Structure 1
Amino acid sequence: MTTTCHRKDTVDPARWPDIIAAPRTSRARRRLTELILRRALDRLPLRARIKGTPFAGLGGPLLDIEDPDAFHARIGASGLVGFGESYMAREWDAPDLVSVLTVLAAHADELVPAPLQRLRGLWAPRHPAEERNTRHGARANISRHYDLSNDLFALFLDETLTYSSAVFRSLPATWDQLAAAQHRKIDRLLDLAQVGPGTRLLEIGTGWGELCLRAAARGAEVTSLTLSREQQVLARRRITEAGLQDRARVELCDYREARGQYDAVVSVEMIEAVGAEFWPTYFRTLDERLVPGGRAVIQAITMPHARMLATRSTFTWIHKYVFPGGMIPSTRAVAETVRDHTRLTVARRDAFGPHYAETLRLWRERFTRREQDVRDLGFDETFQRLWTFYLAYSEAGFRSGYLDVQQYLLTKEDHVR
């Protein structure tokens, strides 16, 4: 049986082959999925309205399942990948999407029965081999996200074009505070790295160039690396417009290809795109590029270690549609990798997860308000639901405590141990 999604006439089957129709699954598998989900939902602080059946849940934000057959078929076939695809297909919705996803994130350990959790390796989708973050794979993975369109990102980011967590003076935050909060974050990273006049700075992961600009404005000599052609073009233009081209250059270069010695290395939310198998290489690169006495500062999204171990081999909706090849580390994984593979020392770690939740809320609200502008750029309704879900899903991760974000200071002593 194939169940077509609501409003299928608005879905481009060539662009969204896995959205236009739910997968074929047996009646028995759909029924088992329905029973497992009903058991889970009945224990959660939300209200699940499932067409044709009584409400499930203990009360709270509304999860409205409009096409139960397709919803259960997708989840039964591909777990959380199917859950996200079902939202993209309009088979379920929620008046307060973030609140529903926050409940689910906070109870992630309870959604699947323990016996099935232990058998995750048998039923969970696996990472495609071509998305390993080899030098070739990393370029393709980065391009799929960051080369979508500079104009798209400009629609929901503030004027600094900074695509990482801000640091606000107080919470909750407002849109007009975001640019200053991004500068506060950047300046804190540069201060931790002791970047000033004459500092030789390597930045791994350019973004659209704001950190590079602020470092060069301090008098640093900056080399910034990116794998995104779109980002390189815009960052270079911004540097030239600021008259800082003599102090900053942006290279299309994998971090593993970096050469030279630097007083400081800064890398903001780059480690999540590296892949677990390459974390030792990433941290060794920081070590090898730093002079003795140098300082590396990174900003990293993290998750609890047990959840990281349980899900590290699982192919998720985020991998399929947003960040192919990505993997979020735990603070323990970072500490152990630094200890076991480098001469660096973790000198400081500061967490500020609630600030990321607010940053994402501001991006999501602006993205939603710019719906027509997104469409004018050539992105269809399914893409808009994809990105709405991505931003809400990420925000929920931080609001629930499932995710956190850290700033690390890593130091390299003058002696070689």
Structure 2
Amino acid sequence: MLFHLALKRLIQHGSLTVTYPDGTVRDYRGGPGPEVAMRITTARALRGMTFNPAMALGEGYMADEIQPEGCSIFALLEMLVLNMMEGGTHPAERAMELIRLFRRRFDQLNPASRSQRNVAHHYDLNGRLYSLFLDRDRQYSCAYFPTGTETLEEAQVAKKRHIAAKLRLDRPDLEVLDIGCGWGGMAITLARDYGARVTGITLSQEQLAVARQRVEEAGLKDRVRIEMLDYRSWKTPMDRVVSVGMFEHVGIDHYRRFFTTVRDALKEDGVALIHAIGRSDGPGSTNPWLAKYIFPGGYSPALSEVLPAIEKARLWATDIEILRLHYAKTIEHWRARFAGNRDTIASLTDERFCRMFEFYLAGAELSFRHMGHLVWQAQLTRRVDTLPLTRDYMFEAERAATPARA
């Protein structure tokens, strides 16, 4: 049995007990480590795990054909990930990764029409869903944990404060473009707390409606407007450009166009801040299950893929920061909140959706905790002399905006 042989090779640490569709139970043991178990209930799921495990594991869990036994899906995935990171590899997965690398430019081809469909797939879901596991401001991106002890709400406020400091909002009425504005939290914060005039753009109908409602409720209609617009259609130079958690949806075929658009959207003395997911181990491909079910057309790039596009757009990378483990902590909070509201979420969707999202959140946390994923923030300008010579202004602005902790 090919799957049996693959597991014997893969499991070097801990133990995995597998119950096969015919009732056979096999133990795979390595050195000291976690002990987990799973049941494969159908021949279809076993066949998938043999020939395309990166897709089949998630699909099998969604269909309840792969069941963790005596452990959570997170514990099962973590055990498999830890063994993979130690050099264990499923032979079929090596071949599938080569195919994904070969196809990735086609898979990430995201013209405006396709981008809107991809966005709708994930963001135009039931309006209550995201409020049941995100923070109150619906920040669906990496939070910032200065001490590691912050609540999710505190860490998301800190993230916005951290970004605002890098934008150098040093005078009122600066015009800010927010590319991929989500549910409007960043735009509202920059207008309310920093006196900016913000235009947020999105491709999600659901986010557009919620963001506009939130702007109205905040009494900021004179300072914030939210538009349905692809970033490539923006033509007006602004004082500042910010984009948080949107670049992952651009696609490698479009990086140069994205940064050229950012450059053209900046006034001569403008500042941009791009916040996105990346990877530490060089160019790769998107997990096929994630690409099919969660983020079609999405990809988290290595900085080696991003910086050439910045250079070709004739932008200065005036500051680059790598956030390590902050997203793992963020998603840990999301997983706990999702679990706490699972019954309500199931009533809005169904059991299959809940399993899909549990698998997604577990895998996402593990990718940041063990698999080299990270978050990068790139501060960009058109001119070399736009910003002060040192980064002290960032720290001073952030400290000035930080309330004293008890």
Q: Give the TM bin, normalised by the shorter chain.
A: 0.7 to 0.9
Which residue does 1:98 correspond to in 2?
74
State how far apart, in whole Å, the 1-side matches of 2:52 and 2:231 are.
34
Matched, 1:319 2:285: no
2:233 alignment partner, one of 222, 247, 257: 257
Matched, 1:207 2:177: no
> Which one is further off, 90-99 or 151-160?
90-99
Checking the alignment, whether the CA contact within 8 Å between 1:360 and 1:395 is kept in structure 2 is yes
Superposed counterparts of 1:5-404, under 5 Å: 31-41=1-11, 43=12, 45-51=13-19, 52-58=24-30, 59-67=32-40, 69-90=43-64, 91-93=66-68, 95-108=71-84, 110-112=87-89, 117=94, 120-121=97-98, 132-173=109-150, 177-195=151-169, 196-217=171-192, 218-306=194-282, 308-309=283-284, 312=285, 316-339=288-311, 341-377=312-348, 379-404=349-374
Checking the alignment, whether the CA contact within 8 Å between 1:158 and 1:179 is kept in structure 2 is yes
Checking the alignment, whether the CA contact within 8 Å between 2:174 and 2:240 is kept in structure 1 is yes
State how far apart, in whole Å, the 2-side matches of 1:389 and 1:73 are.
20
* CA-to-aligned-CA distance 1:151-187 (integer Å, 9 cap, x gap): 10011111111111111232255xxx21121111112
CA pair 270-212 structure 1, distance change in 2 beyond 3 A: same
State how far apart, in whole Å, the 1-side matches of 2:49 and 2:278 are.
26
State how far apart, in whole Å, the 1-side matches of 2:361 and 2:100 are.
27
* CA-to-aligned-CA distance 1:110-135 (integer Å, 9 cap, x gap): 34367973674459995796873111
- Residue 103 of structure 1 and its aligned partner are, at CA, apart by 4.2
Checking the alignment, whether the CA contact within 8 Å between 2:346 and 2:353 is kept in structure 1 is no
Letter in 2 for 1:226: T
CA pair 130-239 structure 1, distance change in 2 beyond 3 A: same
Checking the alignment, whether the CA contact within 8 Å between 1:98 and 1:395 is kept in structure 2 is no
State how far apart, in whole Å, the 2-side matches of 1:157 and 1:254 are.
25
Q: How many residues align?
A: 375
CA pair 414-194 structure 1, distance change in 2 beyond 3 A: same
State how far apart, in whole Å, the 1-side matches of 2:211 and 2:361 are.
24
Please state whether the residue corresponding to 2:343 is helix, strand or coil: helix
Checking the alignment, whether the CA contact within 8 Å between 1:131 and 1:141 is kept in structure 2 is no
CA pair 279-383 structure 1, distance change in 2 beyond 3 A: same
State how far apart, in whole Å, the 2-side matches of 1:34 and 1:357 are.
31
State how far apart, in whole Å, the 2-side matches of 1:100 and 1:125 are.
30
Structure 1 unaligned spans of 5+ = 1-30
CA pair 409-397 structure 1, distance change in 2 beyond 3 A: same
State how far apart, in whole Å, the 1-side matches of 2:258 and 2:229 are.
14
Which residue does 1:10 correspond to in 2?
none
Letter in 1 for 2:55: V
RMSD: 2.5
Structure having the higher strand fraction is: 2
Letter in 1 for 2:3: T
- Residue 375 of structure 1 and its aligned partner are, at CA, apart by 1.9
State how far apart, in whole Å, the 1-side matches of 2:267 and 2:100 are.
47
Which residue does 1:9 correspond to in 2?
none
Letter in 2 for 1:334: V
Checking the alignment, whether the CA contact within 8 Å between 1:305 and 1:331 is kept in structure 2 is no
- Residue 79 of structure 1 and its aligned partner are, at CA, apart by 3.0
- Residue 96 of structure 1 and its aligned partner are, at CA, apart by 4.1
The alignment-based identity, stated in percent, is: 31
Letter in 2 for 1:393: G
Structure 2 unaligned spans of 5+ = 386-406
Please state whether the residue corresponding to 1:150 is helix, strand or coil: coil
Letter in 1 for 2:165: D
* CA-to-aligned-CA distance 1:194-229 (integer Å, 9 cap, x gap): 124111100101111110001111221111110001
State how far apart, in whole Å, the 2-side matches of 1:135 and 1:295 are.
25
State how far apart, in whole Å, the 2-side matches of 1:182 and 1:120 are.
35
